[in-house]
């Protein structure tokens, strides 16, 4: 014999109404059906919950002791159901996604600003990390999807990549740097400037390994944040993916005139998985923000529309 939540609700209705008929009407069941629920509950507990007479129904001592427990059970279930509904309707909950460091620098303020305006009570956990770690976060269930770059011609069959845009590498510089007055910069011209290089411990550095061989760098860093801080402080200029410089409040950029490099930015997720409602909303906003960032950028190619 299994005890159901309807049995507990029946007990509470009778305790409140002190009449089986009135309680049954409130629950939209027959009096006999309600009586069977109470009898089942009493059989499971091994003692009567009500003292019955022809006109009144009173709680027994056991019934009085069981009453607060029954209320907690129903309130707990109703509260859990309400919280789940809030998650489904995006009024509450937590969404976790992974994001490349470069994309985080360029897109997060706009992306999270739009998301907060629509879903102010949903918490967002951003796992901003290196390219090598994005799929690790997905594979271990720490993130529902990731903003990542496409890598290699032999993708991992466990993951699905949605390309959004092909982004160029650009030259980042301070607004008062001489490069800011140029229309575009060649690699030969970069060789004459104070160049800030990415080391090979950096994913960007490995992508730039060949062209950087021709340059004499002044400083070498492994992380994008260090690169942007040194550039902003006037130590030199550096080559970065456009997403890293997009919307930066203190830096500007110029395109590379020759031997242009690019990479594809998109969304990655585990195959055959359904995103939570909040994550799906965030995914759609990510597409919107990234597409808008590249639509008017020379050298960039948008491969997904805003309806994607």
Show me where the domains of the chain are located: 5-88, 94-166+264-302, 168-255
Report the b/e string of 158-179 with b at 16+ CB within 10 A.
ebbbbbbbbbbbbbbbbeebeb
Asked if residues 216 and 191 have their Cβ atoms less than 8 Å apart, the reply is yes
CATH class of the 5-88 domain in this structure? mainly alpha
pLDDT value of residue 46: 86
Distance CA(66)–CA(46), nearest Å, equals 12
Distance CA(266)–CA(223), nearest Å, equals 21
pLDDT value of residue 131: 82
Q: Which residue has the tokens 């990479």?
A: 263
pLDDT value of residue 97: 94
Distance CA(300)–CA(262), nearest Å, equals 8
Asked if residues 262 and 128 have their Cβ atoms less than 8 Å apart, the reply is no
- Give 10-residue mean pLDDT values along the chain (308 residues): 81 89 89 90 88 83 87 78 65 85 90 93 90 88 92 76 91 94 93 93 88 90 93 94 90 89 91 87 93 78 59
* The model's pTM: 0.69
Give the distance from CA 162 to its chain's centroid. 16
pLDDT value of residue 55: 73
Q: Which CATH number fits domain 94-166+264-302: 3.30.450.40, 3.40.630.30, 3.50.50.60, 3.40.190.10?
A: 3.40.190.10
pLDDT value of residue 82: 64
Q: Which CATH number fits domain 168-255: 3.30.1330.60, 2.70.70.10, 3.40.190.10, 3.20.20.70?
A: 3.40.190.10
pLDDT value of residue 300: 67
pLDDT value of residue 294: 86
Same fold, 94-166+264-302 and 168-255: yes
pLDDT value of residue 262: 87
């Amino acid at each position: 014999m299994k005890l159901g939540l309807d049995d507990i609700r029946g007990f509470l209705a009778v305790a409140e109404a002190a009449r089986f008929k009135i309680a049954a009407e409130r629950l939209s069941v027959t009096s006999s059906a309600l009586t069977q629920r109470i009898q089942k509950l009493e059989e499971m507990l091994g003692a009567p919950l009500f003292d019955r007479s022809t006109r009144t129904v009173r709680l027994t001592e056991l019934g009085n002791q069981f009453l607060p427990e029954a209320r907690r059970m129903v309130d707990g279930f109703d509260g859990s159901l309400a919280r789940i509904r809030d998650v489904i309707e995006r009024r509450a909950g937590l969404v976790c996604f992974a994001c490349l460091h470069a994309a985080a620098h360029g897109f997060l303020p706009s992306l999270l600003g739009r998301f907060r305006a629509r879903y102010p009570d949903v918490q967002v956990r951003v796992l901003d990390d290196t390219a090598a770690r994005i799929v690790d976060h997905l594979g271990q269930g720490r993130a529902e999807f990731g903003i990542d770059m496409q890598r290699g011609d032999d993708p991992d069959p466990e993951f699905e990549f949605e390309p959004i845009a092909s982004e160029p590498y650009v030259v980042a510089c301070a607004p008062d740097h001489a490069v800011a007055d140029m229309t575009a910069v060649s690699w030969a011209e970069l060789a004459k400037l104070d160049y800030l290089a990415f080391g090979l411990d950096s994913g960007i550095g490995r992508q730039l390994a060949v062209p950087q061989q021709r340059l004499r760098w002044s400083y070498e860093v492994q992380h994008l944040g260090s690169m942007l801080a040194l550039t902003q402080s006037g130590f030199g200029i550096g080559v970065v993916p456009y997403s890293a410089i997009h919307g930066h409040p203190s830096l500007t950029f110029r395109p590379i005139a020759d031997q242009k490099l690019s990479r594809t930015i998109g969304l990655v997720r585990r195959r055959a998985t359904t995103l939570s409602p909040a994550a799906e909303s965030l995914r759609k906003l990510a597409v919107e923000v990234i597409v808008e960032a590249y639509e008017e950028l020379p050298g960039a190619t948008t491969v997904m529309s805003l309806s994607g």
